[in-house]
Amino acid sequence: MAAQQYSAAVISEARDLFRAGLTAMREERYQDALRAFSQAYALVPQPQTLLNLAGAQVRTGRLVSATESYRRFLRDAAQGPAAVYRDDAQRALDEAERKVARVRVEARGLSETDRVTLDGVSLAPAALSSEVRVDPGEHVLAVARDDAEVARATFVAGEGEARTVRLAVPVDVLRVRPSSVVTEHATSRPSRVQRRRSDPADESASPWPWIAVGGALLVAGAIAFAIVWVSTEPEPYASNLPPTELP
């Protein structure tokens, strides 16, 4: 995007955030770098900022987000100053993809209104019949019914692992329990009515199966790198920093 589309104040703020991100990467403050690059890119979406953002996402274990950022960079940097980093970005993308885990969710007993979430994010129905890409590490799969959680499973995904997580949803006994019936007449004594009650649910066994499978969380730090913010003339991005790369 052309620099003239943004005010001088916005460009200055984005450049300062970019520099702060580079400093944080050098000092191995990767969460700070992630925050700075994210904010800089939101202000002025430069491809070079996006590439650095992807590196910070890798350093903080956000491999799925990193692969998306690398792909966007490769689309946006087909030409121009950032194109010189395409080979580096492709190699980083390939390495990150090898480390992304893939999970197939199998949930039995779902009703039409049940909501399945993975780490608090709702899964579309189509996701339940295909693989879901996740970062290595611990995850929580849950099912909500009528705004109440009725099933949950935790699992640990290893780097590059492909696995299936199964979750059994309990029957909602509250929906099928018949109500009691009592009949009264104003001019007579109350009749004796046998109250019918359903069999109580067995509360001795928890309806929430927990799944925990060992796996290692290894952050792919080797593929994170930072570059300077470069651009063609005119200002504001030309010659703002010397060439810099992180080990």
Helix (H, G, I), strand (E, B) or coil at 165: strand
> Quick check: 37 and 62 in contact, CB under 8 A?
no
| Mean of per-residue pLDDT scores for the chain | 75
Please give the biggest Cα pair distance in the chain: 97
Which pLDDT belongs to residue 109? 86
Q: Tell me the pLDDT band of 92, cut-offs 50, 70 and 90.
A: very high
Pick the more confident residue, 79 or 232.
Answer: 79
Of the candidates 73, 68, 45, 41, the residue with the CA atom closest to the CA atom of residue 57:
68
- pLDDT of 189 > 70? The answer is no
Q: In terms of pTM, does the model score above 0.85?
A: no
pLDDT at 214 over 50: no
Compute the average pLDDT of residues 88-115. Answer: 92
Q: What are the structural domains, with CATH classification, of the chain?
A: 3-99 (1.25.40.10), 101-172 (2.60.40.1120)
Higher-confidence residue of 229 and 158: namely 158
DSSP element (H, E) containing 99: helix 86-99
* Residue 4 CB contacts under 8 Å (≥ 6 apart), including other chains: none
Instruction: Give me the pLDDT at residue 169, please.
Output: 82
Q: What confidence score (pLDDT) does residue 110 get? A: 87
Percent of the chain with pLDDT over 70: 68
Give which of 154, 143, 186, 161 is closest to 63, Cα–Cα.
161
pLDDT at 156 over 70: yes
How confident is the model at residue 127, as a pLDDT?
Answer: 83
Written as one letter, the residue type at 75 is R
Percent of the chain whose predicted confidence (pLDDT) is above 90: 53
pLDDT at 146 over 90: no
Rounded mean pLDDT of 179-200?
A: 37
pLDDT tens digits, one per residue of 122-133 = 998 888 878 999
pLDDT at position 203 = 35
Residue 50: its pLDDT value, please?
Answer: 96
